[in-house]
């Protein structure tokens, strides 16, 4: 049997396993192992399994994942997420759609600590959804704002998605973090614009909340400065060259832990929760990376990625046309594949295409992450939608999916801005490291 045929059989089984809801890490691991065994024998497959597992486990840059996840979990249990929401609410909650806007702002701030879309959606959902329900917000707008706002967790640094992209493509984590800041702010603003448009068309879905006094505004703003200080210390330290990303993650985790101790917000149950959540998230990410490092070499042996790269590069549609095809493919895959799975499955092919077309790999990393965000709220998989459903159990799935569309189109507008003006993503990395 030819290598190409074995490759197609491997892909068939991979998608079959994913369709049967097998975890993506195990699906890639199984297909990669037995595919390598079919081509080079079981000794080679066992060698690949052991060596790649060890290589991922001892990769120093990956230390940032458990540290940033720990930082986010500590911020959640210490009440920092509630501080962000309360501060945003006190300033804009009295306006039409203000609570939804405060939710987006809170998600953006919490994303700068957690690096996880799921953590952002769950944490802010528990804080914001009861308040929006109390003030009579439409279920679609309320849940849509939480689901979409949570996706900022994989764009605004520190971002797990950007870390995995950096590892798989051998790019600088620090440069990618810097590249995500301006697009993250831009997307946050576009989400706020989407809320404004929705509430202008249907004022009843986003009624104004209670007005706060200036003293209350300043009080909530002062309390939220803790999280702002930690973000400036970590991300600012990377930008100024004071810390490496790994060191910044360690500093951030320690500072967040000290704040949690100072607030006396840690007890035995919360400590157990933080540790278990950190271990679970870290193990999931590492398993996906191990599976990818076993599956990708098998694909390379079959020659399929090389053939596909050659086909795409030789298409007579120009750079923009090829980029458009790639983005459309990602959006389509996002309707049924989880974001990180999409990243590890497609990058071996897509990144080579981007490199041969001489496009910026840093810029493309931000573009890919935004497309992954679109997948996180796209039906029928939409992981963040299911997360929000677990918090708002009385809201039908159809209502939540209906609420995400204004934000989905806002992501599309952000993508168009990035394609038209790549400097939005490359400006900060270039000022940090030079051209």
pTM of the model: 0.83
Cα angle 354-356-362, degrees, rounded to a multiple of 5: 40
DSSP string across 178-191: HHTHHHHHHHHHHH
Residue 258 has what pLDDT? 92
Cα angle 79-82-83, degrees, rounded to a multiple of 5: 85
Contact between 168 and 364 under an 8 Å Cβ cutoff? The reply is: no
Residue 159 has what pLDDT? 82
Residue 435 has what pLDDT? 43
Encode pLDDT of 315-353 as tens digits. 778 888 888 888 888 887 777 666 777 787 788 788 888
What is the distance between the alpha carbons of residues 303 and 193, in angstroms, rounded to a whole number?
Answer: 46
Pick 264 or 116 by higher pLDDT: 264
Q: What count of other Cβ atoms lies within 10 Å of the Cβ of residue 245? A: 26
pLDDT band (50, 70, 90) for residue 242: confident
What is the distance between the alpha carbons of residues 101 and 89, in angstroms, rounded to a whole number?
Answer: 8
Greatest distance between any 2 Cα atoms in the chain: 75
Encode pLDDT of 46-92 as tens digits. 988 888 888 888 888 888 888 888 888 888 888 887 888 888 888 88
């Amino acid at each position: 049997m030819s290598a190409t045929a074995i490759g197609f059989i491997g892909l068939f089984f991979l998608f079959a396993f994913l369709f049967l809801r097998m975890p993506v890490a195990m699906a890639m691991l199984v297909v990669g192992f037995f595919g390598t065994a079919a081509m080079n024998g079981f000794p080679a497959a066992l060698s690949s399994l052991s060596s790649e597992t060890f290589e991922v486990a001892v990769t120093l840059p990956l230390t940032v994942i458990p540290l940033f996840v720990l930082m986010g979990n500590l911020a959640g249990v210490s009440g920092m997420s509630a501080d962000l929401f309360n501060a945003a609410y006190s300033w804009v909650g009295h306006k039409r759609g203000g609570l939804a806007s405060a939710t987006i702002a809170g998600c953006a701030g919490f994303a700068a600590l957690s690096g996880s879309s799921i953590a952002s959606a769950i944490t802010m959902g528990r804080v914001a959804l009861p308040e929006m329900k109390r003030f009579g917000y439409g279920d679609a707008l309320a849940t849509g704002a939480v689901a979409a706002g949570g996706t900022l967790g994989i764009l605004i640094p520190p971002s797990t998605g950007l870390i995995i992209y950096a590892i798989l493509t051998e790019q600088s984590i620090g440069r990618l973090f810097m590249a995500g800041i301006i697009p993250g702010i831009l997307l946050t603003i576009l989400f706020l614009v989407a809320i404004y448009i929705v509430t202008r068309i249907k004022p009843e879905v986003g009624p104004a909340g209670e007005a706060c006094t200036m003293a209350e505004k300043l009080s909530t703003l002062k309390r939220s400065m803790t999280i702002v200080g930690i973000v400036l210390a970590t991300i600012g330290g990377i930008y100024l060259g004071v810390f490496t990303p790994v060191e910044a993650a360690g500093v951030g985790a320690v500072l967040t832990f000290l704040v949690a101790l100072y607030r006396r917000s840690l007890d035995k149950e919360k400590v157990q929760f933080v540790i278990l959540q950190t271990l679970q998230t870290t193990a999931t990410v590492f398993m996906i990376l191990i599976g990818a490092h076993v599956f990708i070499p098998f694909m390379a042996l079959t020659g399929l990625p090389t053939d596909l790269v050659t086909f795409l590069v030789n298409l007579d549609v120009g750079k923009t046309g090829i980029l458009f095809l790639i983005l459309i493919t990602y959006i389509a895959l996002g309707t049924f594949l989880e974001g990180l799975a999409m990243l590890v499955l497609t990058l071996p092919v897509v990144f080579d295409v981007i490199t041969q077309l001489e496009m910026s790999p840093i810029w493309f990393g931000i573009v890919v992450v935004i497309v992954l965000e679109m997948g996180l709220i796209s039906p029928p998989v939409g992981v963040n939608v299911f997360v929000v459903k677990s918090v708002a159990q009385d809201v039908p799935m159809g209502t939540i999916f209906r609420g995400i569309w204004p934000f989905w189109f806002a992501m599309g507008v952000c993508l168009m801005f990035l394609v038209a003006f790549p400097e939005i993503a490359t400006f900060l990395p270039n000022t940090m490291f030079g051209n």
